[in-house]
């Protein structure tokens, strides 16, 4: 009897390790291809600035593609979270090529968007196909979705620890098994090393100077982190607002990105800058050494919310990095902390507030910037998380934990006073 149980356990272990390798290699390879293609379209756009006037045509193609071929997957990351919370049916594999092509179109013609959504959706769609292959039940499907999110995030940013934690934390307080937790780390590293195997490079950042922690520094960090949280709140609400406005005012979905693309191109022409096109990685890198203008982060919030709300594809995370890094950099003019430290804190803290994932963001900060800045980053991420409001960038994400209890207590106090 015990021998049979041991055999079943070993067989189950090998099955899940095999699944991790398959998801990690496939998702990592998809992310590697995506990163190379994204670099190519970005360079093409930078070499041909006039191409932004084709953004409405690109938007029309994106809108038509999802309207006629991808209605089931148009929710993107939100669909992954919905299927995790309440499994209904296998995520169609076509989610992967649709979001890949749509994101490349968005970036080629200059839309202000990110890339994590694309990698996570490709990872999730690829992972969920193994539900049928291995005849998994709903519990197994939930594990697969976590693995897909983990592999996609880890591979596109080069942060395996943060990728594994992000996949677990973004579904925080839903039912997560120990098996899912362990496998999330396994698949994250497999996906990460797959991208390394393909020799695709990630952007590197550094915080060269980290001061000794003191009470005086803490008194500066707290208000700065609250501002990061408020920026995250503004970003989340802006994205939802534009999505609601486009849906309400333009009934035919393919016309939303067409009209949005036209208005975006005109706006870029009027302000005369390419700062807000695409990912904005050069601006992020520059913010670590040169103070940003104090309005840059606000315009990135505006243009990213508008782009995604209109129906273009990509993601929110890199724009969140942009918003946080430039806000922190701008505050270096009157906050007595090193500019790179402020930019690095904002980089992950705004992301933490908008996704309700302070642990993953803290680990990500240490993976990207070094463990020396870890304490500062942790404080910034948790304060931003607590001060960013109850609405994040993902609609189905359940708000639980300390933030939930804090807001519930605040609501009860308001009702009692009323």
State the DSSP string of 136-192.
Answer: --HHHHHHHHHHHHHHHHHHHHT-HHHHHHHHHHTTTTS---HHHHHHHHHHHHHHH
Q: What is the pLDDT of residue 169?
A: 92
Query: Which is nearest to 384 in space by CA: 174, 247, 221, 252?
Result: 221
In a domain, 86, yes or no: yes
**CATH code of the domain containing 245:** 1.10.3080.10
Chosen domain end from 197, 226, 260: 197
Q: Compute the average pLDDT of residues 385-389.
A: 94
270 and 192 in a single domain? The answer is no
3-class secondary-structure state, position 8: helix
219 and 190 in a single domain? The answer is no
In a domain, 209, yes or no: no
Q: What is the pLDDT of residue 340?
A: 98
Query: Percent of the chain scored above 70 by pLDDT?
Result: 94
158 and 40 in a single domain? The answer is yes
Chosen domain end from 197, 225, 243: 197
Q: Compute the average pLDDT of residues 330-358.
A: 97
233 and 160 in a single domain? The answer is no
Q: List, for residues 150-169, the tens digit of each pLDDT value.
A: 999 999 999 999 999 999 99
Q: What is the pLDDT of residue 177?
A: 75
In a domain, 239, yes or no: yes
184 and 224 in a single domain? The answer is no
The pLDDT-based confidence of 418 (bands split at 50, 70, 90) is very low
Query: What is the pTM for the complete model shown?
Result: 0.94
Q: Compute the average pLDDT of residues 388-403.
A: 76
In a domain, 398, yes or no: yes
Domain count, the chain: 2
Question: What would the two tokens of residue 133 be?
Answer: 């292959």
In a domain, 314, yes or no: yes
Residue 413 has pLDDT above 50, yes or no: yes
Q: List, for residues 297-335, the tens digit of each pLDDT value.
A: 999 999 999 999 999 999 999 999 999 999 999 999 999
261 and 329 in a single domain? The answer is yes
The pLDDT-based confidence of 179 (bands split at 50, 70, 90) is confident
In a domain, 42, yes or no: yes
Give 300's contacts (C-beta < 8 A, 6+ positions apart): 112, 276, 280, 319, 322, 323, 326
Q: List, for residues 24-76, the tens digit of each pLDDT value.
A: 999 999 999 999 999 999 999 999 999 999 999 999 999 999 999 999 999 99
In a domain, 116, yes or no: yes
Residue 234 has pLDDT above 70, yes or no: yes
223 and 186 in a single domain? The answer is no
Q: List, for residues 66-120, the tens digit of each pLDDT value.
A: 999 999 999 999 999 999 989 999 999 999 999 999 999 999 999 999 999 999 9
Q: Compute the average pLDDT of residues 232-259.
A: 97
178 and 29 in a single domain? The answer is yes
Burial 156-167 (b: 16+ CB within 10 A, else e): bbbbbbbbbbbb
393 and 366 in a single domain? The answer is yes
Q: Taking the CB of residue 243, how many other CB atoms lie within 10 A of it?
A: 18
Contact by Cβ (8 Å): 191, 24 = yes
Residue 411 has pLDDT above 90, yes or no: no
255 and 372 in a single domain? The answer is yes
Contact by Cβ (8 Å): 242, 306 = yes
* H helices present in 311-400, as ranges: 317-331, 339-355, 358-369, 374-387
The pLDDT-based confidence of 346 (bands split at 50, 70, 90) is very high
Residue 240 has pLDDT above 80, yes or no: yes
The pLDDT-based confidence of 396 (bands split at 50, 70, 90) is confident
Query: Which is nearest to 50 in space by CA: 111, 107, 109?
Result: 109
170 and 265 in a single domain? The answer is no
Give 39's contacts (C-beta < 8 A, 6+ positions apart): none
The whole domain housing 323 covers 215-405
In a domain, 208, yes or no: no
CA distance 28 to 95: 16
Residue 175 has pLDDT above 70, yes or no: no
Give 201's contacts (C-beta < 8 A, 6+ positions apart): none
- Cα 170–174–175 angle (5° rounding)? 125
Q: What is the pLDDT of residue 407?
A: 58
161 and 254 in a single domain? The answer is no
What do you get for the CA distance between the two ends of the chain, in Å? 65
HSE value, Cβ hemisphere, 13 Å, CA-based, for 127: 34
Query: Which is nearest to 95 in space by CA: 115, 117, 76, 68?
Result: 76
Q: What is the pLDDT of residue 318?
A: 96
Q: What is the pLDDT of residue 1?
A: 53
The pLDDT-based confidence of 402 (bands split at 50, 70, 90) is low
Chosen domain end from 149, 165, 197: 197
């Amino acid at each position: 009897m015990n021998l049979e149980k041991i055999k079943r356990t070993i067989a189950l272990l090998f099955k899940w390790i095999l699944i991790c390798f398959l998801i990690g290699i496939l998702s990592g390879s998809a992310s590697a291809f995506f990163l190379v293609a994204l670099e190519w379209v970005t360079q093409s756009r930078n070499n041909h600035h006039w191409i932004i006037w084709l953004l409405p045509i690109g938007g029309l193609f994106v809108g038509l593609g999802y309207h006629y071929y991808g209605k089931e997957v148009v929710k993107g990351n939100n669909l992954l979270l919905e299927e995790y919370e309440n499994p209904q049916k296998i995520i169609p594999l076509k989610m992967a090529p649709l979001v890949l092509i749509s994101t490349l179109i968005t970036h080629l013609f200059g839309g202000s968007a990110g890339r994590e959504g694309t990698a996570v959706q490709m990872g999730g769609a690829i992972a969920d196909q193994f539900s049928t292959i291995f005849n998994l039940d709903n519990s197994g499907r939930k594990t697969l979705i976590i693995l897909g999110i983990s592999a996609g995030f880890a591979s596109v940013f080069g942060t395996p620890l943060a990728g594994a934690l992000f996949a677990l934390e973004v579904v925080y307080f839903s039912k997560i098994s120990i098996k899912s937790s362990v496998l999330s780390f396994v698949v994250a590293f497999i996906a990460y090393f797959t991208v390394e195997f393909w020799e695709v490079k990630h952007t590197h950042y550094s915080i060269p100077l980290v001061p000794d922690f003191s009470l005086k520094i803490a008194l500066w960090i707290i208000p700065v982190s609250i501002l990061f949280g408020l920026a995250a709140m503004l970003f989340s609400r802006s994205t939802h607002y534009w999505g609601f406005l486009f849906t309400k005012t333009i009934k035919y979905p393919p016309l939303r990105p067409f009209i949005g693309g036209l208005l975006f191109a005109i706006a870029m022409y009027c302000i005369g800058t390419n700062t807000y096109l695409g990912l904005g990685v050069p601006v992020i890198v520059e913010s670590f050494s040169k103070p940003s203008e104090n309005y840059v982060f606000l315009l990135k919030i505006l243009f990213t919310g508008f782009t995604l709300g209109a129906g273009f594809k990509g993601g929110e995370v890199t724009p969140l990095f942009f918003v946080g890094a430039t806000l922190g950099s701008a505050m270096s003019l009157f906050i007595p902390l090193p500019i790179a430290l402020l930019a690095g804190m904002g980089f992950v803290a705004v992301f933490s507030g908008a996704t309700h994932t302070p642990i993953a963001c803290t680990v990500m900060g240490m993976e990207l910037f070094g463990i020396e800045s870890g304490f500062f980053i942790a404080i910034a991420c948790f304060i931003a998380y607590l001060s960013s409001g109850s609405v994040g960038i993902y609609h189905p994400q359940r708000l639980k934990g300390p933030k939930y209890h804090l807001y519930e207590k605040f609501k009860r106090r308001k009702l009692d006073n009323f």
